[in-house]
Amino acid sequence: MAQSLNRLKESAAQTAGPYVHIGCTPNFLGMTGVFPEDLGHSMVNDKTKGERITITGHVFDGTATPLKDALLEIWQADAGGLYNSPSELRGSADPNFTGWGRQPTDLGTGVFSFETIKPGRVPFGDGRLQAAHISFYIVARGINLGLNTRMYFGDEEEANGKDPILGRVEHKVRVPTLIAPRQGNTYTFEIHLQGDRETIFFDI
């Protein structure tokens, strides 16, 4: 006879509170000595291949107020379109590029910033090339489950127009919420959690 699992009930969901920064970005909070630097802080070194870029922006709530305690992670391919992952079977990714980064928003301004490289294009499941993009994961107080979205590049209009994911967006007026405009070597990606400009989030 199977045992009852009533004693192993799922605990209540909680939002990411102040402790997420203590655990994930202690140096950012002035708690040194845990890691030489916060995990995910540096994605590149002086040998990394590809075009160096900066990604910056805010995470806005439904009142268009920037969140000052959000935490963001990004995951992307290297300049050749390969992921730094054991499951990458198409070739060897750039060993001088981590492909993953983590940054908090500034506690005063709410601005986040990543120093990375522009990724190469990767194939979709059916072999079509996707437009260059970066995957984002966002947590903050008030968010029960982390949010997943993508950032596409505003200077890749032709590739964006043929992207198999963007092509699935039913309401085309929302596509611009995933596209970051470029100024110099900086792309600005503004993430809106609610409201008229709500960013498209992915159920993954």
pLDDT digits (tens, 9 = 90+) for 158-170: 999 999 999 999 9
Q: 89-98: long-range contacts at Cβ-Cβ below 8 A with a sequence spacing of 24 or more?
A: 94/48, 94/49, 94/50, 96/44, 96/45, 96/47, 96/48, 96/49, 97/43, 97/44, 97/48, 97/49, 97/50, 98/40, 98/42, 98/43, 98/44
Q: What is the mean pLDDT of the chain?
A: 92
Listing DSSP states for 2-29 in one string gives PPP-GGGPPPPP----THHHHHH-TTTT
HEC secondary structure over 62-85: CCCCECCCCEEEEECCCCCCCCCC
CATH at residue 59: 2.60.130.10
Within a domain: 9? no
Within a domain: 26? no
Structural domain including 87 reads 37-192
Q: Is the pLDDT of residue 1 over 60?
A: no
Within a domain: 202? no
The number of distinct structural domains making up the chain is 1
Q: What's the pTM?
A: 0.90
Of 12-16, 18-22, 173-177, minimum mean pLDDT range: 12-16
Share of the chain above pLDDT 70, in %: 93
pLDDT band for position 13 (50/70/90)?
low
pLDDT of residue 104: 95
Within a domain: 144? yes
Of 1-5, 36-40, 116-120, 148-152, minimum mean pLDDT range: 1-5
pLDDT of residue 12: 66
Share of the chain above pLDDT 90, in %: 78
Q: Is the pLDDT of residue 77 over 70?
A: yes
Within a domain: 72? yes
CA atoms of 18 and 70, how far apart (whole Å)? 10
Within a domain: 15? no
Within a domain: 67? yes
